[in-house]
Amino acid sequence: MDDTLVPRQKKCGDCPPASRTRQAGPLLVVPRRSYTPTRPSCIECVEKHLGAAYVLLSEVREGYACRLRAIGHLFEAEDEAQEWPDLHAAIREARKAYQADGTMPDWAALAGLVTEAHVLMPEAPVAKPRTGRKLLQALRASWLVGMWRDRQDIGDSSEFARKLREWAQKWNREGQ
């Protein structure tokens, strides 16, 4: 057997511990015919890459040149989703259709498959903050606080968030 098709244990520093996956034992990379992924599947990473592709494809519709980055994020989501064959196949088909003729992915269907993948995974116990101080510490330690800090184009973040929500609601009403 070709060495590239032999499963190898990989570690991803950003992925959850092995207890958060369906697999028992060490995480293994699932080899494919001519390609071995570089890391184990991670549903949080799938969501991150699908979210990035969604934003970039929205910007493409507005005339910005982000097509290649969006395709790259779709591929990364596909690569991360190999533990969930239906999700993996759906992302792959969405990427190929977009590359071939510009067909936008069915985001609702992909979101449903991501939700199903979450259901298949046991939840890791999460200690919830019990005081306001602990909650504030947890929020400050998360990626949420300050994620737009370096953006020069935003200005008033509250106004920007309001406009972003309005745009998303309008975009959804128009059947996009």
Exposed/middle/buried for 99, CB within 10 Å: 0-12, 13-18, 19+? middle
Kindly tell me if the per-residue pLDDT of 24 is higher than 80. Answer: no
Q: How far apart are CA 171 and CA 176, in angstroms?
A: 6
- Give the global pTM: 0.52
Determine the pLDDT at residue 168: 80
Determine the pLDDT at residue 54: 93
Q: How far apart are CA 26 and CA 37, in angstroms?
A: 16
CA dihedral sign of residues 57, 115, 100, 78: positive
Q: What is the mean pLDDT of residues 4-23?
A: 46
Provide CB contacts within 8 A for 176, sequence distance 6+: 104
What is the residue extent of each domain of the chain? 3-120, 132-173
The separation between CA 72 and the C-alpha centre of its own chain, rounded to angstroms, equals 12
Determine the pLDDT at residue 3: 53
Q: What are the tens digits of pLDDT across the range 77-134?
A: 998 898 888 999 999 999 999 999 999 999 999 999 999 888 876 656 667 888 988 8
Determine the pLDDT at residue 173: 66
pLDDT band of 22, cuts 50, 70, 90: very low
Determine the pLDDT at residue 108: 93
Kindly tell me if the per-residue pLDDT of 18 is higher than 50. Answer: no
Would you put residue 128 in left (φ > 0), alpha (ψ -120 to 50) or beta? beta
Determine the pLDDT at residue 9: 47
Determine the pLDDT at residue 21: 44
pLDDT band of 23, cuts 50, 70, 90: very low
Kindly tell me if the per-residue pLDDT of 70 is higher than 60. Answer: yes
